[in-house]
Amino acid sequence: MLATIGLQHYLILSALIFSLGVLCMATKRNAIGILIGVELVLNSANINLVGFSKYQTGKGDGQIFAVFVILLAAAEAALAIAIFMNFYNNVRTIDVDRGDELRG
Amino acid sequence: MIEDAAFYIFAGVSLFSAIAVVLSKNIVRAAVGLLGTLGGVACLYFLADANLLGVIQLIVYAGGTLILIVFGIMLTSQSPWVGFLPTKVQAIAASIVAVILTIGIVRLVTLVPWAQRNPDELSQSLTVKSIGDALLTTYLVPFEVASVLLLVVMIGAAYLARTEK
Amino acid sequence: MASITLPWVERNPKTLTSQRRTALTLLYSLAFLHVLLVIASWAWLTPLSSAAKDLTDGRIPLVLILCVGSVIGMLTFVTAALVVTFYRLVGRILAAPWVAFIIFIGAIVGIILLAWLHAEAFAFVKNMAHPAYTDVNPAPKIFGTSIEYEQSVRSIYEQNLEPYAFKIPFVGNVTVLAAYILWPLQFAIVRDLVAVGGIIGFISIVPGFGIWWERKIAGRMQSRMGPMRAGGWHGWAQSAADGIKLIFKEDYVPPSGDGLLFRLAPYFALVPAICAFIALPFAAAWVFRDLDVALIFILAMLGIEVMGVILAGWASNNKWSVYGAMREACQMVSYEIPMGMALLIPVMTAGSLNLGAIAEAQGGGFWTWFIFKNVWCFAAFFIYYCAALASCKRAPFDLPESESELVAGFLTEYSGFRWSLFFFGEYAAMFVISGLATILFLGGWMSPFPSEWADKLIDPNTNHFVATIIRGVVAENPLWFIAKATFMFFLQLWIRWTLPRIRIDQVLYACVQVLLPMMMVVLLGNTLWILAVDHWSWMQTTDMIINWILAALGVAVVIGMLAIASYGFRHNKALVGSMAADQLPGK
């Protein structure tokens, strides 16, 4: 297991963080907790991109993709926080299970 | 040798913090755990010669997004210790899904014979300059689309978060 | 003279207290033991010193510990014993005037001399190893890691040094001894540890001196003396005394708050400030890691520092603390934008992201400094300085800890050592932003004179030592950087005790509606200016004229400041509100 670091190490780390992010999204009922889970998932994707960039292409394209992912994550967080604030203003809580007004 | 040890240390920090994110009942502690993950992953980027990416991760994620998240937590929580816990059934179901997902992806990753090359042999001239050149030549369209997207997000967020009058 | 009273010191100089007698006996016996150890190990080393030529020779660490270690131990114990013996004389010296400045400046000059000596010794040994190697003047690198170093040390052991070796009686072969002393530095981790020690030492000097200095300045501005007791001359040991007091204070953790985060928060505030020093160069080679993204790295570290403040406020579970933390969060996030944009101006002007290259581009005299380059750079400097003050939560932007409205803001619940950690972080960050302003706008470590003058002054026959000094004064020197950064640091203290604190809505208004639009105009203006200077020849003339006007303006401001200061200094007794202490009845 403790071999020289290769592509697989990056991929496995990424897989573990991805699963933890999914678990975080599934178990948190606080809307911001779900956002934190999304950030974990996006980070795991970035680890993949950097790993492939280092061990397969050797060019910067993986890093540039990761830069765009970070940018999207920032944009998504800004919008999500704005939506949560609106949600909080309407429902007076941030528990996502309370946002069930449209349920039939 | 030292780099291998450093990889394990930083990967361990990231994983440990990610586990802390999942297990913590308090949302601010989860945000601190996320800070640990972001820092560990940024160190991994530094290790993988992606200096610019690591710094962007620190400045945008840790210095911007995370502070926004904590700010959001402060604005939307009624008291510091209110936690919304999932029911036992939800937690167990989610854990089972996550375990299956982990096993599946790890199995897949170890099965595929990745065409892997030695990073020392690849021509690595990944300076800030080369990445900047690539952003303004090869990736010009995504770059411009991203800037328009940011503008849209800025206006949208300001519109959504405005006070009702 | 302030007398120093210590509990273990006797009242009558003729008698010894038992504690002091014990301490003296212990120290002198330890010193004597080390003298014996030195003699024994030198005797054992002399035959060995010509034998071990292999870098991996296992005897080298042993010799190092026995010889070098015992000499250092002997010096330490003899000094300690002498201090305890002649404590009255030492106390009198410490209480003498100007000791604070002599200690502070002596520490900095001493570090630089040490680094220079180290570089000279290295060059000497390298010259022994490669007599054909002509470049004997490598840049001093205490903060740097160079591969050259490792190769040179290695080659010393691989080559036969007999023709160049000269022996000193009782000491042995000088070259081999120097090689022994340099031996640990072949390992990158040892060099890194030395550099990290240097950084942490510097960070502990900065707040210690800065807090005392700030209190003295505050006192002078309010017609009082500031701390006068601790230490002797103008209370120079006040910070040390405060530090000792803070360590022994009660360590309070609010029971209703989040204990874990409360304990973690000071480290989130301190560690990023230390990390920023990793990439901050003090001179061309005086940098721990010469990153190509150093500028963004430092900015990121200053950004993460806020996390500590927010967590401190949150974990205290106190409304004042949470208000302070909220203010810090919105203030920091908004002021980072104009600050980052202002930093782009010198990057654009120099055409490089490397801090070293940016400083080198300003080496042609003070009129080539980027602050005087053109109007846009001039404006960018002030915008940067305002935004940096705000992001460092210094007055007039110190809303997070404004004591008149929020008790102490996020610091309300903190006490003792954790409280002082926040101040370590804050003063280190203040030095970092001053250093960034120095490198980006004020020529960094380059002197105000054109660096060509050094080449004219040094002809090939000049003594090597004299040439080094001339180059240090006329061309470039880490001391120039420290002097300029200290001046920018002083400016922050000056602003703090001059301007009143503004309201939080004014803080945010100033950022979003004043600084940000202004900065966008400046960014666009600088871009077009650079393009225009490249394209039209008449723009080059305009550029030069504006450059000279701005430089003249800068000189006028400096001369005016000096004139006002000297007037105040000469007439200080006659000015309204001069020192209250001078008008006491007894005087």
Cα nearest neighbour of B26 on chain C: C258
Contact flag A43-B41 (C-beta cutoff 8 Å): yes
Contact flag B67-C306 (C-beta cutoff 8 Å): yes
The encoded tokens of residue C203 equal 């960070």
- At C447-493, the pLDDT tens digits run 888 877 777 777 766 666 667 677 777 777 777 888 888 888 888 88
pLDDT for res C1: 39
Contact flag A86-B160 (C-beta cutoff 8 Å): yes
Among candidates A9, A15, A54 on the partner chain, residue whose Cβ is nearest the Cβ of B49:
A54
Among candidates B51, B59, B128 on the partner chain, residue whose Cβ is nearest the Cβ of C303:
B59
Chains C and A touch (3+ CB pairs under 8 A): no
Among candidates B45, B52, B72 on the partner chain, residue whose Cβ is nearest the Cβ of A32:
B72
Measured between beta carbons, the chain C residues lying within 8 angstroms of B28 are 258, 261, 311, 314-315
pLDDT of C164 strictly over 50? no
How far is the alpha carbon of B94 from chain A, nearest alpha carbon, in Å? Answer: 6
**C290 φ/ψ sector (left φ>0, alpha ψ -120 to 50, else beta):** beta
Cα nearest neighbour of A26 on chain B: B94
- At B36-68, the pLDDT tens digits run 999 999 988 888 878 888 888 888 888 888 888
How far is the alpha carbon of C490 from chain B, nearest alpha carbon, in Å? Answer: 28
**How sure is the predictor about C232, in pLDDT bands with cuts at 50, 70 and 90?**
low
Cα torsion at B150, B156, B160, B163 (round to 10°)? 90
Cβ neighbours, 10 Å, residue C581 = 12
pLDDT for res A44: 92
Cα nearest neighbour of C258 on chain B: B80
Angle at C365 between CA C362 and CA C369, to 5 degrees: 40
Measured between beta carbons, the chain B residues lying within 8 angstroms of C315 are 28
Measured between beta carbons, the chain B residues lying within 8 angstroms of A75 are 149-150, 153
Delimit the domains of chain C by residue range: 1-96, 102-187, 256-534, 536-579
How far is the alpha carbon of B70 from chain A, nearest alpha carbon, in Å? Answer: 9
**How sure is the predictor about A42, in pLDDT bands with cuts at 50, 70 and 90?**
very high
Q: What CA–CA distance (Å, rounded) separates B91 from B97?
A: 10
Q: What CA–CA distance (Å, rounded) separates C444 from C437?
A: 8
Contact flag B94-A26 (C-beta cutoff 8 Å): yes
Place of tokens 């966008």: C520
Q: What CA–CA distance (Å, rounded) separates B41 from B35?
A: 10
pLDDT for res C560: 93
The 10 Å CB-count burial string (b at 16+, else e) for A32-57 is bbbbbbbbbbbbbbbbbbbbbbbbbe
Chains B and A touch (3+ CB pairs under 8 A): yes
Q: Which long-range contacts (CB under 8 A, 24 or more apart) does C527-533 make?
A: C527/C348, C529/C374, C529/C376, C530/C348, C530/C349
pLDDT of C581 strictly over 70? no
Contact flag B63-C310 (C-beta cutoff 8 Å): no
Q: What CA–CA distance (Å, rounded) separates C133 from C330?
A: 57
Q: What CA–CA distance (Å, rounded) separates B14 from A20?
A: 11
Angle at A59 between CA A57 and CA A60, to 5 degrees: 125
Domains and CATH numbers, chain B: 1-80 (1.20.120.1200), 124-165 (no CATH)
Cβ neighbours, 10 Å, residue C250 = 6
Query: Would you call C325 an interface residue with chain B, using a CB distance cutoff of 8 Å?
Result: yes
Among candidates B26, B59, B80 on the partner chain, residue whose Cβ is nearest the Cβ of C296:
B59
**How sure is the predictor about C139, in pLDDT bands with cuts at 50, 70 and 90?**
very low
Percent of chain C clearing pLDDT 90 (strictly above): 4
| Stronger pLDDT, B155 or C18, i.e. the higher one | B155
pLDDT for res B14: 92
Interface test with B, best of A25, A28, A42, A49 (most B CBs within 10 A): A28
Amino acid at C151: Q
Residues present in chain A in total = 104
pLDDT of C4 strictly over 70? no
- At C95-110, the pLDDT tens digits run 666 666 677 777 777 7
Q: How many CB pairs under 8 A join B and C?
A: 80
Cβ neighbours, 10 Å, residue C412 = 22
- Residue whose C-alpha is closest to residue C319's, from C233, C406, C219: C406
The 3-state secondary structure of C22-86 reads: HHHHHHHHHHHHHHHHHHHHHHHHHHHHCCCCCCCCCHHHHHHHHHHHHHHHHHHHHHHHHHHHC
Q: What CA–CA distance (Å, rounded) separates B69 from C534?
A: 45
Contact flag B102-A74 (C-beta cutoff 8 Å): no
The encoded tokens of residue C411 equal 């610091």
Give the SS3 label for residue C365.
coil
| Stronger pLDDT, C225 or C129, i.e. the higher one | C225
Contact flag B70-C329 (C-beta cutoff 8 Å): yes
Q: Are C302 and C432 in contact (CB under 8 A)?
A: yes
pLDDT of A14 strictly over 80? yes
pLDDT for res B152: 92
Which residues fall within 8 angstroms of residue B24, CB to CB, at 6 or more apart? Answer: B30, B33
Residues present in chain C in total = 587
The encoded tokens of residue B161 equal 């978060």
- At C277-303, the pLDDT tens digits run 888 887 776 777 777 788 888 988 888
Cα nearest neighbour of B130 on chain C: C292
Among candidates B44, B78, B116 on the partner chain, residue whose Cβ is nearest the Cβ of A47:
B44
Per-residue DSSP letters for C395-446? TTS-GGG-TTTSTTGGGTT--HHHHHHHHHHHHHHHHHHHHHHHHHHS-TTB
| Stronger pLDDT, A52 or C96, i.e. the higher one | A52
Query: Would you call C149 an interface residue with chain B, using a CB distance cutoff of 8 Å?
Result: no
DSSP C4: P
- Residue whose C-alpha is closest to residue C335's, from C389, C292, C281, C373: C389
Q: Are C198 and C111 in contact (CB under 8 A)?
A: yes
Which residues fall within 8 angstroms of residue C364, CB to CB, at 6 or more apart? Answer: C450, C451, C452
Query: Poorest-confidence range of A54-68, C117-131, C132-146?
Result: C132-146
The encoded tokens of residue C473 equal 């004064």
pLDDT of A36 strictly over 80? yes
| Phi, psi angle pair for C173, to nearest 5° | -80, 115
pLDDT for res C556: 92
**How sure is the predictor about C384, in pLDDT bands with cuts at 50, 70 and 90?**
very high
Cβ neighbours, 10 Å, residue C180 = 23
Cα nearest neighbour of B29 on chain C: C261
How far is the alpha carbon of C167 from chain B, nearest alpha carbon, in Å? Answer: 40
- At C523-547, the pLDDT tens digits run 999 999 888 888 888 888 888 888 8
Contact flag B15-A24 (C-beta cutoff 8 Å): no
pLDDT of C137 strictly over 50? no
To the nearest whole number, what is the mean pLDDT of chain C?
76
Query: Would you call C301 an interface residue with chain B, using a CB distance cutoff of 8 Å?
Result: yes
Q: What CA–CA distance (Å, rounded) separates B14 from B66?
A: 16
Per-residue DSSP letters for C151-194? HHHHHHHHS--GGG--EETTTEEHHHHHHHHHGGGGSHHHHHHH
pLDDT of C562 strictly over 80? yes
| Phi, psi angle pair for C503, to nearest 5° | -75, 165
Measured between beta carbons, the chain C residues lying within 8 angstroms of B67 are 303, 306-307, 310, 329, 332-333
> Is the Cα dihedral C79, C82, C84, C89 positive or negative?
negative
Q: What is the mean pLDDT of residues C8-30?
A: 69
**How sure is the predictor about B149, in pLDDT bands with cuts at 50, 70 and 90?**
very high
Q: What CA–CA distance (Å, rounded) separates B33 from B61?
A: 13
User: How far, in Å, are B115, B134, C203, C212 from residue C565 at the CA level?
Assistant: 71, 53, 30, 21
pLDDT of C141 strictly over 50? no
pLDDT of C224 strictly over 50? yes
Measured between beta carbons, the chain A residues lying within 8 angstroms of B135 are 64, 67
pLDDT for res C462: 66
The CA-to-CA distance between both ends of chain A, in Å, stands at 52
Q: Are C254 and C316 in contact (CB under 8 A)?
A: yes
- At C291-340, the pLDDT tens digits run 778 888 898 888 888 888 888 888 888 888 888 888 888 888 888 889 98
How far is the alpha carbon of B110 from chain C, nearest alpha carbon, in Å? Answer: 34
**How sure is the predictor about C146, in pLDDT bands with cuts at 50, 70 and 90?**
very low
Which chains reach chain A with 3 or more Cβ–Cβ distances below 8 angstroms?
B
pLDDT for res C186: 60
Pairing between strand C172-173 and C167-168? antiparallel
- At B67-84, the pLDDT tens digits run 888 888 887 776 655 666
Give the SS3 label for residue A29.
coil
Measured between beta carbons, the chain A residues lying within 8 angstroms of B150 are 71, 75
Q: What is the mean pLDDT of residues A32-56?
A: 88
pLDDT of C178 strictly over 80? no
- Residue whose C-alpha is closest to residue B54's, from A53, A61, A8, C297: C297
pLDDT for res C115: 67
> Is the Cα dihedral A27, A31, A32, A34 positive or negative?
positive
pLDDT for res B145: 92
Percent of chain C clearing pLDDT 70 (strictly above): 71
Q: What CA–CA distance (Å, rounded) separates B160 from C565?
A: 54
Which residues fall within 8 angstroms of residue B94, CB to CB, at 6 or more apart? Answer: A23, A26, A27, B86
How far is the alpha carbon of A102 from chain B, nearest alpha carbon, in Å? Answer: 20
Among candidates C261, C311, C329 on the partner chain, residue whose Cβ is nearest the Cβ of B71:
C329
Give the SS3 label for residue A11.
helix
Cα torsion at C198, C203, C207, C209 (round to 10°)? 20
The encoded tokens of residue C25 equal 């006996």
Q: What is the mean pLDDT of residues C549-575?
A: 83
pLDDT for res C179: 60
pLDDT for res C521: 93
pLDDT of C54 strictly over 60? no
Query: Most confidently modeled of A80-84, C410-414, C571-575?
Result: A80-84
**Which C positions 179-218 lie with beta carbon below 8 A of chain B?**
189
Contact flag A29-B94 (C-beta cutoff 8 Å): no
- Residue whose C-alpha is closest to residue C191's, from C235, C132, C126, C144: C144
Q: What is the mean pLDDT of residues A35-45?
A: 91
Query: Most confidently modeled of A76-90, C257-271, C514-528?
Result: C514-528
Percent of chain B clearing pLDDT 70 (strictly above): 87
How far is the alpha carbon of B72 from chain A, nearest alpha carbon, in Å? Answer: 6
